[in-house]
C-alpha cells in the first residue's frame, strides 16, 4: 500500500462553496493485505474519472462548454446543490481493477450521515442474492435518518444473478437510452441488469429495478485537465443513470424539505412515463417506468414506508408485498381466491383530491381496488385494499399490469402490479442443528451466523435462567451497559466450571471482539472470566443477585419507550414460556423480563418503569404468572394455553404466514432451544416446542398454520426423534 497520505492531491483549496467536503476511507485494502496502485491517490482525489463523471451528472454547476463536441451550455441535474466527496474504492494491482471494500463503503456512508447530507448517490454494484447485505443494511440506517439513496442496478443484463441492491429503502435505477432524432421516448439499455432479485422464490416480493433514467452516452466531466479546465467525455451504464435520480431527489427535497426519502421515491415512480416498447415496459427491465421530472414535482399522492416497516420486511421477506411501496409484486398467487393487500395513500397536495382507480393488464391477471373512488384531504391518508386474482396464469409465469388512480387536473398515480401463478410447492426441507451434547449443539448453532460476529454471549450449561432474557437481545446484537447501536446477531455459547472443548473451538473460529458472560460467579466462575481475559478477549459480565435482577440488567439494553415488554415466569418449570417467547420478543422489538409467579421482584418493577413500554404482555397461564402479578405488572394481554405446548403454539400464531423457517425444540430439555432461539429471533422465525418422541396436537396445528418451507430441528435425536422430525415436515406441507 502506498505509505502515508497524499496531501498535494487534495489540498485544502479543493474544498469550495461547491465541493464542501472530501474524505477517503482505505481500511479495506489494508485489512486484506492489498496494495493500492501507484497511479491511485491516498486522498479523496478521483483518479479514474468515474466519481467526477457521476458527480457532474448529479450536481455539476452551469458551464459554458466549447470543445470538440461544439459550443453549448451544460449543467448537472441540480446545479445549485453542494457536493461532498467520499472515496471508498481503490485501484488494486493484484486484481487489475477498482474494488470497493464493504467496510470502507460503510465508513464513508456513516461519515456522510454525520455530515448531514440530504442525498447519497452510490453508483457501485453490490449484493445480488440477499436482503441482508452489510452495505445495504447500512443504507437502511441512512434512509431511516432521512437521507435519499440512489444506486445503480448493475450492467449485466445477461446474467441471472446480476441485479444489485434489491432492498426497498434504496432507489435502484436502470439505464435508459433516448432516440437521437429529437424524440423524447425512452427504452431500457440492453446492458442494464434485469429482475427479479436472485433470492428464494417465496422472497421475490420487491420489484427491482425501481425506475429508469438516462444512462447511455451521458456527457459529463471526467477530471481536471492540464490547463485547469475540466475534461469531458461520454460514459454509459447504470452508474450514469443513478445520479440523474440523485440530482432529481435533491431538487424535490429543495421544494419539499420535509418529505421522507420514500415519499420522494414514490413521487418519481408513480408519475414515471411508459417506455417506447413492451420489452422495456416489463417491470423487471425498467421498473415503474422512465423518470419524468416535470410530473414528479406534483405527484398528488405518495406511498411511504419507514424503518419499522423495513425491519418487518427483513423478518419475513416472503410477505414483502405488504410493504407500502409504489409497486406490488406477488411471487405466488393462490389458485383461485384473491390475495388482498393494503396500501396507504397520502395526499401531498394543497387541497382535497378525488381519485378513481382502474387496472389494465392481461386477461389472466385481475386486480380491483376498494374503495374504487375516494376523496382525501390535504395531508390526510387513506387505506385502500387491492385484490389480485389469478385468472389462469401458468405455473411460475410472471405477468404484469398497471394500477392507476386518476383525478381531475392531476397527474395520474400509477404503480406496476407484477404477479406469478402458484409455483408447485416444493418438498418441505428439514435440517438438524446438533452436536453430541448441549455444548456441541450450541457451538454447531454458532456456525449458522452468516454475518461477522463481534459479540458472543456465554451462559451456564447447567443454570439456564440467566440466559432466558438474553436471547432477544443477542438476536439484535445488543449489549447492556455499552452505549452503542445494535450490531450483528450474537450467538450464545455454553460453559460450566470451565470452557468445554466445543466452546473453545467456537470462540477460536468466531474471534469475537467482546464476550458477555451471563449471570453471577455461581453460574460461571471467575476463573472462566479470567481465562478469557488472559486470552485477550474483552469480557463483560451481566449478572445480578438472582435471575430476576439479571433479567432486569439485560433489559437495560433497550431505550425507554419500547413497543412491548414480555414477562414470563422465572420458575424452573416455566422455562419453555420464555424460550418460545424469545423470538417473538426479537420480532416485536422488546425484551423479556422474568418474574416470580406470586410477586413482582423489585428489580423487574424498576426495569418496567425505566422502559416505559407501550404494552406489557404476559406469557403463560395463571399457574405461571398469577392474576395478582398480572395486575401488578399493569399488563395489557396474556398469551397462554392449556400447557407449555399450547402456549408455544399460541405464541407462534403471532408470526406472519407463510413462515420462512420454523425452529422445533424439545419442551423439556432447554439448552438446545436456548442457543437456537437467537438465530430464530434474528430471522423473525418462531420456535415451537414438542415432546421428544411425539408431536403434540397444538404443535402440529402450529406447524400447519405456519406452512414453513424449512424446518430446523434443534438438538440430537434423543432430544427430538427422527419420527417427530418427519411428523413436523408432514404437518408443514
Confidence of residue 569 (pLDDT cuts 50, 70, 90): very high
Task: Evaluate whether 168 touches 310 at the Cβ level (below 8 Å).
Answer: yes
| 594-602 mean pLDDT | 95
Q: Which three cell numbers stand for residue 404?
A: 392507476
Percent of the chain's residues with pLDDT above 70: 95
How many Cα neighbours within 13 Å face the side chain of 160?
1
pLDDT of 191 strictly over 90: yes
Give the contacts of 150 (CB within 8 A, at least 6 positions apart): 119, 120, 121, 122, 170, 171, 173, 242, 243, 245, 246, 249
pLDDT tens figures, 176-190: 998 866 578 899 999
Q: Which three cell numbers stand for residue 2?
A: 502506498
Model pLDDT, residue 108: 96
Closest CA to 380 of 411, 420, 404, 347: 347
Model pLDDT, residue 466: 78
- Using CA atoms, how far residue 386 sits from 71, 322, 381, 415, 656, in Å, is 52, 10, 16, 12, 19
pLDDT of 733 strictly over 80: no
Model pLDDT, residue 645: 93
| 122-143 mean pLDDT | 91
DSSP for 229-241, written as a single string: SEEEEEE-SHHHH
Model pLDDT, residue 136: 95
At 172 the three-state DSSP class reads strand
| 224-252 mean pLDDT | 89
Task: Evaluate whether 418 touches 390 at the Cβ level (below 8 Å).
Answer: no
Q: Which three cell numbers stand for residue 530?
A: 479470567
Model pLDDT, residue 245: 98
Task: Evaluate whether 415 touches 327 at the Cβ level (below 8 Å).
Answer: yes
Model pLDDT, residue 2: 37
| 296-311 mean pLDDT | 95
pLDDT of 484 strictly over 70: no
Confidence of residue 1 (pLDDT cuts 50, 70, 90): very low
Confidence of residue 579 (pLDDT cuts 50, 70, 90): confident
Name the one residue in this structure whose C-alpha cell is 424452573.
572
Confidence of residue 246 (pLDDT cuts 50, 70, 90): very high
| 243-261 mean pLDDT | 97
pLDDT of 9 strictly over 90: no
**Range of 245-249, 481-485, 537-541 with top mean pLDDT:** 245-249
Model pLDDT, residue 3: 35
Report the alpha-carbon distance of residue 340 to residue 119 in Å, rounded. Answer: 34
pLDDT tens figures, 677-724: 899 988 889 999 999 999 988 999 899 888 888 999 999 999 999 999
Confidence of residue 461 (pLDDT cuts 50, 70, 90): confident
Task: Evaluate whether 28 touches 102 at the Cβ level (below 8 Å).
Answer: yes
Name which residue leads in pLDDT, 468 or 611: 611
Confidence of residue 4 (pLDDT cuts 50, 70, 90): very low
pLDDT tens figures, 313-370: 988 888 899 999 999 999 988 766 788 999 999 999 999 999 999 999 999 899 999 9
**186 membership: H or E segment, kind and range:** strand 186-188
Report the alpha-carbon distance of residue 457 to residue 517 in Å, rounded. Answer: 6
Exposure letters 163-175 (e unless 16+ CB within 10 A, then b):
bbbbbbbbbbbbb
**Cα-flanking dihedrals φ and ψ of residue 228, to 5°?**
90, -10
**Burial (CB count <10 Å: 0-12, 13-18, 19+), residue 554:** buried
The sign of the CA dihedral 321, 323, 324, 327 is: negative
Lowest mean pLDDT among 31-45, 84-98, 382-396, 398-412: 382-396
Model pLDDT, residue 235: 95
Report the alpha-carbon distance of residue 188 to residue 63 in Å, rounded. Answer: 29
Residue 413 is classified by DSSP as E
pLDDT of 578 strictly over 60: yes
Model pLDDT, residue 184: 86
pLDDT of 118 strictly over 90: yes
At 551 the three-state DSSP class reads helix
Indicate the pTM of the whole model. 0.66
> In 3-state terms, the chain is what percent helix, strand and coil (to 5)?
30, 25, 45
Question: Which residues partner with 592 through β-bridges?
Answer: 566
pLDDT of 232 strictly over 70: yes
Give the contacts of 441 (CB within 8 A, at least 6 positions apart): 433, 434, 435, 671, 672, 675, 714, 715, 716
Task: Evaluate whether 470 touches 479 at the Cβ level (below 8 Å).
Answer: no
Task: Evaluate whether 567 touches 633 at the Cβ level (below 8 Å).
Answer: yes
Report the alpha-carbon distance of residue 477 to residue 45 in Å, rounded. Answer: 36
Sequence length of the chain is 733
Mean pLDDT of the chain: 90
pLDDT of 482 strictly over 70: no
E strands, 589-696, where? 592-595, 616-619, 637-639, 661-666, 687-690
| 147-158 mean pLDDT | 92
pLDDT of 95 strictly over 90: no
Question: Which residues partner with 357 through β-bridges?
Answer: 405
Model pLDDT, residue 351: 95
Model pLDDT, residue 504: 95
Amino acid at each position: 500500500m502506498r505509505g502515508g497520505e497524499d496531501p498535494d492531491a487534495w489540498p485544502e483549496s479543493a474544498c469550495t462553496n461547491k465541493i464542501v467536503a472530501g474524505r477517503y476511507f482505505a481500511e479495506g485494502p489494508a485489512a486484506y493485505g492489498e496494495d493500492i496502485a501507484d497511479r491511485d491517490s491516498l486522498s479523496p482525489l478521483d483518479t479514474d474519472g468515474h466519481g467526477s463523471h457521476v458527480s457532474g451528472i448529479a450536481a455539476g454547476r452551469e458551464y459554458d462548454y466549447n470543445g470538440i463536441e461544439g459550443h453549448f451550455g451544460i449543467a448537472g441535474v441540480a446545479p445549485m446543490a453542494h457536493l461532498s466527496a467520499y472515496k471508498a474504492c481503490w485501484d488494486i494491482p493484484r486484481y487489475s481493477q477498482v474494488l470497493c471494500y464493504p467496510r470502507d463503503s460503510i465508513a464513508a456512508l456513516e461519515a456522510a450521515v454525520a455530515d448531514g447530507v440530504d442525498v447519497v448517490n452510490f453508483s457501485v454494484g453490490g449484493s445480488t442474492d440477499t436482503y441482508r447485505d452489510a452495505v445495504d443494511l447500512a443504507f437502511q440506517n441512512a434512509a431511516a435518518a432521512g437521507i435519499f439513496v440512489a444506486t445503480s442496478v448493475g450492467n449485466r443484463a445477461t446474467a441471472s444473478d446480476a441485479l444489485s441492491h434489491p432492498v426497498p429503502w434504496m432507489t435502484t435505477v436502470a439505464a435508459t437510452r433516448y432516440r437521437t432524432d429529437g424524440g423524447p421516448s425512452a427504452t431500457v439499455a440492453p446492458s442494464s441488469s434485469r429482475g427479479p432479485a436472485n433470492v428464494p422464490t417465496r422472497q421475490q416480493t420487491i420489484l427491482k429495478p425501481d425506475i429508469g433514467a438516462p444512462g447511455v452516452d451521458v456527457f459529463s466531466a471526467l477530471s481536471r485537465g492540464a490547463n485547469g479546465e475540466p475534461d469531458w467525455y461520454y460514459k454509459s451504464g447504470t452508474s450514469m443513470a443513478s445520479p440523474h435520480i440523485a440530482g432529481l431527489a435533491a431538487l424535490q427535497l429543495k421544494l419539499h424539505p420535509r418529505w421522507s426519502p420514500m415519499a420522494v421515491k414514490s413521487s418519481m415512480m408513480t408519475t414515471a412515463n411508459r417506455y417506447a416498447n413492451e420489452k422495456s415496459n416489463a417491470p423487471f427491465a425498467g421498473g415503474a417506468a422512465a423518470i419524468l421530472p416535470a410530473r414528479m414535482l406534483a405527484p398528488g399522492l405518495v406511498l411511504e414506508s419507514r424503518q419499522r416497516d423495513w425491519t418487518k420486511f427483513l423478518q419475513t421477506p416472503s410477505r414483502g408485498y405488504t410493504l407500502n411501496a409504489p409497486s406490488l409484486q406477488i411471487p405466488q398467487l393462490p389458485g383461485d381466491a384473491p390475495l388482498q393487500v393494503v396500501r396507504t395513500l397520502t395526499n401531498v397536495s394543497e387541497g382535497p383530491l378525488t381519485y378513481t382507480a382502474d387496472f389494465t393488464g392481461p386477461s389472466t391477471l385481475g386486480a380491483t381496488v376498494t374503495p374504487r373512488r375516494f376523496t382525501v384531504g390535504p395531508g390526510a391518508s387513506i387505506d385502500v385494499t387491492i385484490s389480485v386474482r389469478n385468472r389462469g396464469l401458468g405455473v411460475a409465469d410472471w405477468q404484469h399490469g398497471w394500477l392507476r388512480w386518476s383525478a381531475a387536473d392531476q397527474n395520474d398515480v400509477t404503480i406496476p402490479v407484477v404477479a406469478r401463478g402458484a409455483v408447485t410447492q416444493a418438498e418441505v426441507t428439514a435440517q438438524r442443528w446438533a452436536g453430541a451434547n448441549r455444548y456441541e449443539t450450541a457451538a454447531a448453532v454458532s456456525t449458522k451466523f452468516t454475518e461477522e460476529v463481534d459479540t458472543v454471549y456465554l451462559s451456564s450449561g447447567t443454570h439456564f435462567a440467566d440466559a432466558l432474557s438474553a436471547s432477544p437481545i443477542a438476536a439484535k446484537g445488543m449489549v447492556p451497559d455499552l452505549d452503542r447501536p445494535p450490531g450483528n446477531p450474537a450467538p450464545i455459547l455454553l460453559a460450566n466450571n470451565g470452557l468445554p472443548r466445543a466452546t473453545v473451538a467456537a470462540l477460536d473460529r468466531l474471534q469475537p471482539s467482546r464476550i458477555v458472560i451471563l449471570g453471577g460467579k455461581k453460574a460461571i466462575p471467575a476463573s472462566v472470566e479470567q481465562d478469557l481475559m488472559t486470552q485477550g478477549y474483552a469480557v463483560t459480565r451481566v449478572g445480578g443477585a438472582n435471575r430476576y435482577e439479571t433479567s432486569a440488567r439485560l433489559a437495560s439494553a433497550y431505550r425507554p419507550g419500547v413497543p412491548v415488554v414480555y414477562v414470563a415466569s422465572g420458575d424452573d418449570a416455566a422455562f419453555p414460556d420464555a424460550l418460545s417467547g424469545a423470538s417473538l420478543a426479537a420480532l416485536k422489538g422488546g425484551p423479556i423480563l422474568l418474574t416470580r409467579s406470586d410477586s413482582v421482584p423489585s428489580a423487574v418493577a424498576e426495569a418496567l418503569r425505566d422502559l416505559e413500554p407501550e404494552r406489557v404482555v404476559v406469557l403463560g397461564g395463571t399457574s405461571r404468572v398469577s392474576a395478582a402479578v398480572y395486575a401488578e405488572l399493569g399488563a395489557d394481554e396474556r398469551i397462554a394455553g392449556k400447557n407449555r405446548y399450547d402456549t408455544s403454539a399460541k405464541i407462534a400464531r403471532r408470526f406472519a404466514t407463510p413462515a420462512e423457517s420454523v425452529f422445533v425444540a424439545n419442551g423439556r430439555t432447554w439448552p438446545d432451544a436456548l442457543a437456537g432461539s437467537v438465530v430464530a429471533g434474528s430471522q423473525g422465525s418462531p420456535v415451537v416446542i414438542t415432546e421428544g418422541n411425539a408431536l403434540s396436537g397444538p404443535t402440529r396445528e402450529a406447524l400447519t398454520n405456519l406452512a414453513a418451507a424449512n424446518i430446523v430441528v434443534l438438538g440430537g435425536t434423543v432430544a427430538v426423534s427422527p419420527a417427530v422430525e418427519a411428523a413436523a415436515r408432514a404437518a408443514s406441507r
